[in-house]
Amino acid sequence: MAKDSKVSPTQRAYQKIARKHEAKRPVMKNCIKAFLIGGLVCTFGQLVQTGYIYYFDFTEKTAGDPTVATLIFLATLLTGLGVYDRFGHFAGAGSAVPVTGFANSMASAAIEHRTEGYVLGVSSNMFKLAAAVIVFGVVAAFFIVIIKMTFFGL
């Protein structure tokens, strides 16, 4: 959003007109799609997790890691095959919010930039979108733990 103070009256008038003609986003429809797809991805994750507990010697606590790794593997594979992007276009946040979306953002950036080489292309572009998540997550976690330890002990 532009800062109002730096906008001339003409620009403001233009923005008003532009906003009127902006395509309305089908918010309700998008939310239902996100709910269904996101729910299904999580249910599938639960299925994988339950499978790991029953067929391999994982406990409820330790089954999380292989489950996440499996989902990431599948998301990367689907991204490579070009399926995930079409799926993501349909599902919106339903495909972006689960950890599969995190994997998709890394894999698609890595594949897209392979023509620039493995060092400058693949590895330095891999975290283009994922970096925001990691940086903000780590900084927030750091301060939360500091606050928690300082004021509430452990």
Cβ 5 to other proteins shortest distance, Å: 20
Identity of the residue, 9 or 154, whose beta carbon is nearer to other proteins in the bound complex: 154
Identity of the residue, 87 or 130, whose beta carbon is nearer to other proteins in the bound complex: 130
Cβ 53 to other proteins shortest distance, Å: 10
Identity of the residue, 15 or 33, whose beta carbon is nearer to other proteins in the bound complex: 33
How deeply is 37 buried, as exposed, middle or buried, from its count of CB atoms within 10 A (0-12, 13-18, 19+)? buried
CA angle (41 as vertex; 38, 47 as ends), nearest 5: 140
Identity of the residue, 4 or 9, whose beta carbon is nearer to other proteins in the bound complex: 4
- Please state, in angstroms and rounded to a whole number, the distance separating the CA atoms of residues 124 and 109: 9
Of 87, 83, 46, whose CA–CA distance to 68 is shortest? 46
Residue 142, phi then psi, degrees to nearest 5: -55, -50
Cβ 8 to other proteins shortest distance, Å: 22
Contact status, residue 19 vs residue 80, Cβ threshold 8 Å = no
Cβ 15 to other proteins shortest distance, Å: 13
